[in-house]
């Protein structure tokens, strides 16, 4: 059933259903041959679909020549033309031309005309974006064809009503946008608060009052590695001392990860050996480390692969740090929630049972200092981390296990409140978008003005 047949009786008497192609002239652009240098570096703005997120286009990344227009399907659209992306990552995106300009073939230009206000049409296409995308032809990447666009049912009121609807939409959307802006501001403030909580944690500020009121027992046995042995004493911590240009509370030390944990890595079994894959042993790559926890395997390998490739199967709660990877992957830390082995792009940090209390403390430290860890990368064109860098990475540690636990409790308590607030903000943002759709629905049913 078409939109027109489904909703005819719901429109006001002076409205009518039309096809977009009946009231608007539309056409797409084109791309001049890249082999002809004389077609480019001209003075005619040439819009690509990725530029439609600007809303109003007054300039473009590339410009073409008059000769390019004559020798391609590109054409110059007049200022005020409404543009819509027909395919690609920006499919359905809308923008107005603020200058005369040409476009590529992934953009359809809808010319201004006397019958329909361009901003009325803009709002209707925004409202129908998902419907158009769903109707798009093609496989993984849908394509809004000119035929689909021209056959779109459009409720058309008198011109004066169109203008009144646009004014009302702008008024209501302005109020919603102000609310959305406040929500995003609150979201940014929460992000800063989370960073502050982690900063305070590793400066000893979250347990400052606790240290004043508690007699802390320093363990007689040293932690693993290079931490000097401390005699078994009891005292009230009051003074601070400076170490590595950072002031630490008394009873804290700078330690290396290798002092308190075992650091290993993995490997990639030969892809050419079919018998290495399809087993029941989880295998994780660095691409899985984009979240705080790794809950699923990237692939599964066999016992033969583990044995012949000398893979270690790491226990649950092992900390994983991505050593390679472009973009934001390198330096990411995730906690393993499954037993798994890894590829060679990951450093796996595991703990003895008696040192397990350090694990959540170290995890939060690595999450907090992600950017600093990334900066320690070495190498050529694409710097990487390595096991040596991870092992030697220093972090401030209270030698009291009780204080370590208190810090983790304080972090998780504060971050839990922050998470709930962020969830509430996300829900409010979703409600704001739903409210926009509700307003548009009323507008195009003739119920807004």
| Closest of 24, 139, 136 to residue 83, by C-alpha | 24
Taking residues 225-250, what's their average pLDDT? 46
Binning pLDDT at 50, 70 and 90, where does residue 2 land? low
* Burial (0-12, 13-18, 19+ Cβ within 10 Å), 266: buried
pLDDT in the model for residue 234: 32
First to last CA, the chain: 27
Hey, CA dihedral for 133, 136, 142, 147, is it positive or negative? negative
Which SS3 state, helix, strand or coil, does residue 286 take? Answer: helix
C-alpha of 122 from chain center:
28
C-alpha span between 393 and 395 (Å, rounded): 7
Instruction: Pick the more confident residue, 220 or 415.
Output: 415
Taking residues 15-42, what's their average pLDDT? 94
Which SS3 state, helix, strand or coil, does residue 369 take? Answer: coil
Taking residues 237-246, what's their average pLDDT? 40
Instruction: Pick the more confident residue, 212 or 111.
Output: 111
Taking residues 236-249, what's their average pLDDT? 49
User: CA torsion 398→402→407→411, rounded to 10°?
Assistant: 150
pLDDT at 81 over 80: yes
* Non-local CB neighbours of 437 within 8 Å, separated by 6+ positions: 127
pLDDT in the model for residue 125: 96
Instruction: Pick the more confident residue, 234 or 159.
Output: 159
* Non-local CB neighbours of 371 within 8 Å, separated by 6+ positions: 331
Q: Which helix (H) or strand (E) holds 306?
A: helix 303-308
Ordered structural domains, the chain, with CATH: 3-156 (3.90.220.20), 259-398 (3.90.220.20)
Q: What is the 3-state secondary structure (H, E, C) of 338-372?
A: CCEEECCCEEEEECCHHHCCHHHHHHHHHHHCHHH
C-alpha span between 351 and 10 (Å, rounded): 68
pLDDT at 101 over 70: yes
Other CB atoms within 10 A of residue 402 CB? 14
Note the pLDDT tens digit of each residue in 383-413.
Answer: 889 999 999 999 999 988 899 999 999 999 9
pLDDT at 239 over 60: no
* Non-local CB neighbours of 311 within 8 Å, separated by 6+ positions: 266, 267, 269, 283, 301, 305, 341
pLDDT in the model for residue 389: 94
Tell me the backbone φ, ψ of residue 121, rounded to 5 degrees.
-65, -40
C-alpha of 325 from chain center:
16
User: CA torsion 419→421→427→431, rounded to 10°?
Assistant: -160
Q: What angle do CA 389, 390, 394 make, to 5 degrees?
A: 90
Which SS3 state, helix, strand or coil, does residue 66 take? Answer: helix
Binning pLDDT at 50, 70 and 90, where does residue 242 land? very low
Taking residues 4-11, what's their average pLDDT? 61
pLDDT at 284 over 90: yes
Token digits for 142?
A: 């849908």
Cβ contact 144:12 at 8 Å: no
Q: What angle do CA 344, 345, 351 make, to 5 degrees?
A: 80
Taking residues 169-181, what's their average pLDDT? 96
pLDDT in the model for residue 133: 87
What is the rounded average pLDDT for all residues in the chain?
A: 88
């Amino acid at each position: 059933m078409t939109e027109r047949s489904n909703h005819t009786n719901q429109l006001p008497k002076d409205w009518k259903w039309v096809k977009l192609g009946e009231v608007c002239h539309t056409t797409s652009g084109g791309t001049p041959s890249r082999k002809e240098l004389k077609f480019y570096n001209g003075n005619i703005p040439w819009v690509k679909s990725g530029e439609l997120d600007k809303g109003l286009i007054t300039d473009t990344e590339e410009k073409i020549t008059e000769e390019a227009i004559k020798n391609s399907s590109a054409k110059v659209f007049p200022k005020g033309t409404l543009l819509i992306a027909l395919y690609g990552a920006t499919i359905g995106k809308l923008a107005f031309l603020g200058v005369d300009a040409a476009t590529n073939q992934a953009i359809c230009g809808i010319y201004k005309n006397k019958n329909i206000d361009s901003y009325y049409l803009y709002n209707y296409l925004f409202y129908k974006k998902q419907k158009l995308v769903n109707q798009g032809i093609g496989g993984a990447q849908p394509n809004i064809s000119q035929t689909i666009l021209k056959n779109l049912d459009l409720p058309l009121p008198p011109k004066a009503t169109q203008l009144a609807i646009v004014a009302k939409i702008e008024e209501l959307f302005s109020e919603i946008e102000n609310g959305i802006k406040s929500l995003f501001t609150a979201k940014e403030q929460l992000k800063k608060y989370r960073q502050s909580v982690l900063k305070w944690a590793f400066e000893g500020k979250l347990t400052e009052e606790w240290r004043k009121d508690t007699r802390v027992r320093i363990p007689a046995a040293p932690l693993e590695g290079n931490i000097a042995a401390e005699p078994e004493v009891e005292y009230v911590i009051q003074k601070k001392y400076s170490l590595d240009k950072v002031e630490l509370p008394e009873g804290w030390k700078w330690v290396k990860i290798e002092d308190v944990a075992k650091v290993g890595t993995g490997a990639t079994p030969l892809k050419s050996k079919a018998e290495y894959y399809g087993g029941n042993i989880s295998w994780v790559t660095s691409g899985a480390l984009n979240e705080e926890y790794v809950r699923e395997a990237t692939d599964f390998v066999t016992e033969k692969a583990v044995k012949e490739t000398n893979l270690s199967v790491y226990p649950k709660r092992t900390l994983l740090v991505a050593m390679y990877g472009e973009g934001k992957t390198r330096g990411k830390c995730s906690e393993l929630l499954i037993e798994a082995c890894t590829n060679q792009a990951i450093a796996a940090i595991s703990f003895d049972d008696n040192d397990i209390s350090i694990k959540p403390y170290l995890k939060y430290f690595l999450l907090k200092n992600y950017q600093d860890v990334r900066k320690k990368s070495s190498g050529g064109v694409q710097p990487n981390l390595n096991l040596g860098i991870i092992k030697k990475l220093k972090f401030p540690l209270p030698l009291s296990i009780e204080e370590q636990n208190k810090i983790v409790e304080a972090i998780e308590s504060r971050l839990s409140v922050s998470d709930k607030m962020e969830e509430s903000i996300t829900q409010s943002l979703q409600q704001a978008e739903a409210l926009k759709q509700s307003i548009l629905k009323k507008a195009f049913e003739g119920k807004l003005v």
